[in-house]
Structure formats: C-alpha cells, structure tokens
C-alpha cells in the first residue's frame, strides 16, 4: 500500500522532475493508494482490501509531518504486526536523530533517501546508526552532472554503511512534463511516459555500482508502476466487487447495464430469470438493470431484439468506480462469440 502522508514539501523547486500531480502539490492531504484518508479506519480498510503486506510512506515530504508518520506506523504495525514491512521515502529535509528514533520505535523498517546535494548526505550517515535498512532512491537522469552525482552518491552510500541504491526510470507525468521538456528530455518513442536515455543512464550507473562499490543496485522501469497498480487493483477487485460485477484477470471490474422503458425492462428481467441468472447477480435500479457481464454477453442478441439498450462497462475497482471502457449492447450482440471466448 502507498500511504501519501502530505503534499507539502519545501523542495519542489529543486526537483523539476517531481512526478507528484498538481492537485496534490503543497496540499496537506492524505491518501492510502487512491483513497482520501479521513480516519485511521480508511487506512486500515484499504490495507485489508488490497491484502497489503507492507506500506510505502511518501509525499510530498513525510518529514514535514513526523508525528503523523509515527502515528500511522503505530496504527499499521499495531493492526498487522511487526511483519508488516514499512519503508519511507525522504529528501532528508526534516530528518533528525530524534525523528529517526521515534520512527524506528514505531516500527519503520527501511528508509530511502532522495538527496542530490552532498551537504545533505550526512542525513544518510545518521540513519545508518539505527536499526534500519538504509539506501537511496533516485531518478536516472541522463547526462552530466546527473550521472556523475549518482556515482558520487553510490560511493558515499558504500562508505557510510548503507545497503542499496534504487534507480527509477525518469518518467513524464502531468506534473513534470513542461519541466522535463525544458530540461531537453523527450519521451521514448516506444513509451508514453519513459524518458529517452534514462534506461541507458541507469545501466551505466549500475555497472559502476557493481564494479566500484559493495552496495546493491536496482533499476525500476517506468512501466513497473503501472504493473504495481494493476496488481493492487486485482487484489482489491475481488474484495470490493458487487454481486453483479465480475473481476477481470488484469484487475478491473466488469458489469452489464440494460436500459429501456418500463415494458422493455420488465421483459429483460423475465428473460434473465428464465435463463437462470441468479437473483443476487441482478440489481434493479430506477430506469436500468445492472447484471452480471456473463449474462449480458450470452443474451445480448435477445436483449437487443426486445428493444433494450445498454452497455458492458469496465471500471476501476475504486470506491467511486472510474469507468475505463464502455461497449454498447449492440456491439456486444454482434461480437458475442468473441466476448465469450475472451476476445472482446
């Protein structure tokens, strides 16, 4: 689970590549994945729904709200036990020995620093004194001085007793697109978000880490974040699905919608019942019927012949369902065999 503890950060101007969305920047908001947090139960509920094994605490800058971080560490560890892994991302702004001590006491397992300025690297050395897995997580920005500084940081991490450096493929987002373009970065032709040259820069730095240091080096491609989201949605979908919704393999939910006048809807309901569609997989709402997608696909032609309209709807498994795709009933009727075979 990703726990976004605040959108506040005093260093936004120093990180033109920051991926945080504009509507979260400099706002003191809390999100557990995509869920806005209003209470501790919101956090615990999301962790349960996605069957989380741990939490990544991020922002903004978490050290701006150190007591809040401590609180959620205690809430999550208290509910799920010491085996619930907790790691935190920080630019080091508010990191002190006292803050680290409180976080470690509350259950923090790992800390990942994002610091370019050599003057701030001593915060890393401070963290190594605690019972923490300590490392850095940095964007792989191609060219000088970025790659040189990443190599210098790797050497420092090794000398300080830290354990790893994660390199993230530089990616374009709504929040940083203009800044990256101004830096001369361009999207990779085969990707909507990955920056050209970032993967190659990461390879060069990782080769240096392997050759010149004793720390571990890792690379996270841009598409990995999408993969992580879909894996999280897959777990959530099976736990939040309404009786008329069916979880898809990739992590979305699908259901059928039937619309028409009162007579057409009555005929549709009779047909569904005659064909043995379980009553719990049918929801009658004013002006429409929601039904299991399998039933809509199987009976699409007959439903169209009865004068029904509607669609097969694919949604994200969020509390407020976000529509991902809609397929008109008439289209489903024409391609019914393809849908039944999973080729829709």
Q: What is the pLDDT of residues 172-217, one digit of tens each?
A: 999 999 999 999 999 999 888 999 999 999 999 999 999 999 999 9
pLDDT at 337: 60
pLDDT at 336: 66
The angle at the Cα of 66, spanning 85 to 99, to the nearest 5 degrees, equals 85
Confidence of residue 252 (pLDDT cuts 50, 70, 90): very high
Read off the pTM.
0.90
CATH topology for the 2-232 domain: TIM Barrel (3.20.20)
Given a cut of 80, whether residue 134 has pLDDT beyond it is yes
d(CA 237, CA 230): 10
Domain boundaries, the chain: 2-232, 242-340
Two domains, one topology: 2-232 and 242-340: no
pLDDT at 341: 59
Confidence of residue 335 (pLDDT cuts 50, 70, 90): confident
Tokens 């992590």 belong to 251
Q: What is the CATH number of domain 242-340?
A: 3.30.70.790
Given a cut of 70, whether residue 275 has pLDDT beyond it is yes
d(CA 239, CA 82): 24
Mean pLDDT of 245-260: 96
């Amino acid at each position: 689970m990703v726990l976004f503890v605040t959108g506040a950060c005093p260093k936004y101007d120093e990180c033109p590549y920051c991926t945080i969305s504009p509507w979260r920047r400099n706002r003191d908001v809390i999100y557990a994945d995509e869920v806005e947090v209003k209470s501790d139960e919101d956090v615990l509920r999301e962790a349960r729904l996605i069957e989380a094994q741990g939490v990544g605490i991020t922002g903004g800058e978490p050290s701006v709200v150190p007591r809040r971080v401590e609180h959620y560490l205690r809430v999550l560890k208290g509910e799920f036990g010491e085996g619930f892994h907790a790691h935190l991302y920080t630019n080091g702004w508010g990191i002190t020995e006292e803050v680290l001590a409180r976080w470690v006491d509350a259950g923090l397992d790992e800390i990942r620093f994002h610091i370019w300025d050599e003057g701030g690297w001593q915060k890393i050395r401070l963290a190594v004194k605690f019972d923490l897995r300590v490392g850095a997580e940095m964007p792989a920005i191609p060219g000088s001085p970025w790659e040189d500084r990443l190599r210098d940081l790797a050497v420092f991490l090794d000398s300080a007793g830290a354990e790893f450096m994660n390199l993230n493929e530089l990616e374009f987002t709504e929040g940083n697109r203009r800044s990256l373009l101004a830096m001369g970065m361009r999207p990779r032709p085969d990707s909507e978000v990955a920056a050209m040259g970032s993967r190659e820069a990461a390879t060069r730095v990782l080769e240096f880490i392997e050759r010149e240091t004793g720390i571990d080096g890792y690379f996270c491609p841009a598409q990995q974040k999408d993969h992580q989201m879909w894996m999280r949605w897959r777990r959530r979908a099976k736990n939040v699905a309404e009786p008329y919704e069916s979880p898809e393999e990739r992590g979305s939910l699908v259901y059928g919608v039937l619309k028409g006048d009162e007579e057409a809807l009555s005929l549709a309901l009779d047909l569904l019942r005659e064909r043995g569609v379980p009553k719990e997989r049918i929801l009658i709402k004013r002006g429409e019927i929601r039904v299991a997608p399998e039933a809509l696909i199987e009976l699409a032609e007959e439903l169209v012949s009865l004068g029904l309209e509607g669609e097969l709807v694919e949604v994200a498994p969020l509390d407020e369902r976000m529509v991902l795709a809609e397929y008109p009933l008439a289209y489903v009727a024409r391609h019914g065999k393809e849908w039944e075979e999973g080729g829709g």
